Amino acid sequence: MVQANFLECIRETIEAELRPRNKEVRVRVQGSDRKIASTQGALSGAAISARAQIACDELTVRAEIIWSIIQRCHKSFGSEREDSLLADLQHQIHEFVSAEAVIIFNHVDGGASAHYPTQLRTHIDDAVTVRRNELITKLKNEARFYVQDIKHPPKADLGGITILGNVGSVQTGDYAQSHIHINADGGSRMVEALERLRAAIVGAAEMTSDQRDGSVELVNDLIVAARAPKPNGPKLLGLISGLASTIRTVASLRPAWEFVRDNARMMGIPI
């Protein structure tokens, strides 16, 4: 079984990385409510659906962060080869993702459901529960792959270097090339995040016209790159880094930018 201090390390790391996100979630909810209330009324079904979507998106990002933390801690503590590893990993996934689902629901719902028509009162809770179960199932399978890779590591390629997991830049000799190996499965999520950021940039009053135009052009380039069958990691990193220099200074864009950043990290792009 996993030692108590090991689990405490995971809990502390999760707290440090995820608790600051709570304020950002509330800001996104407030912005969504204001936007929908201006056209459809404060108690519309669209408002509660938007809250549910914010909750599910946030839980998706947090689940990936949790899995990344669990893997890092297991590798550092060197307990990978224990017979109970898979069961331990799956238990931790269930515990930590379930806890975050409750936290996110409390911030997104905030008691609002009680004021909605009866048929809408459980909509956010139901949506979060479904997404939580989907993510737990997905990550439990990821844990199976992780354990199998540990037990049966792939043979090294004599023609190069094999690196397990997401990798930043690697230099291997005087004339070697740097590479970023990314998870292309996250491309669709990245496109969605970029489209949200683009919409936020268009409406950002704090930016000059030139800043908006330049940033939108970079986002368009990023969307094209993210949609590629085999996304080019270095190209994506370069474009995102260029975009960040402007976006990070605009307070109203911070939630949308951080959603892009988190999805980039999930794809294996170091930001």
Look at residue 8 in the predicted model and tell me its pLDDT.
Answer: 87
pLDDT band at 44 (very low <50, low <70, confident <90, very high): low
Q: Where are the domains of the chain?
A: 4-151, 184-267
pLDDT band at 191 (very low <50, low <70, confident <90, very high): confident
Look at residue 155 in the predicted model and tell me its pLDDT.
Answer: 55
- pLDDT tens-digit series, residues 96-122: 999 999 999 999 987 766 666 666 778
Choose among 21, 24, 47: nearest CA to 109.
47
Look at residue 163 in the predicted model and tell me its pLDDT.
Answer: 38
Whether the predicted pLDDT of 219 surpasses 80: yes
Whether the predicted pLDDT of 183 surpasses 60: no
Which residues, in sequence order, are CB contacts of 260 under 8 Å at separation 6+?
A: 190, 193, 194, 197, 240
Look at residue 98 in the predicted model and tell me its pLDDT.
Answer: 97
Residue burial 24-51, b: 16+ Cβ < 10 Å; e: rest:
ebeebbebbbeebeeeeeeebeebbbbb
The SS3 call for residue 3 is coil
More confidently predicted of 17 and 41: 17
**Distance (Å) of CA 248 to CA 31, 126, 201, 234:** 18, 34, 12, 20
On average, the pLDDT of the chain sits at 78
Choose among 93, 112, 6: nearest CA to 50.
112
- pLDDT tens-digit series, residues 225-257: 888 777 777 788 888 888 887 787 787 888 888
Instruction: Return contacts of 84-90, CB within 8 angstroms, 24+ apart.
Output: 84/1, 84/2, 85/147, 85/150, 86/143, 86/144, 86/147, 88/1, 88/2, 89/140, 89/143, 89/146, 89/147, 90/140, 90/143
- pLDDT tens-digit series, residues 63-94: 988 998 888 888 776 554 566 888 989 999 99
Look at residue 203 in the predicted model and tell me its pLDDT.
Answer: 84
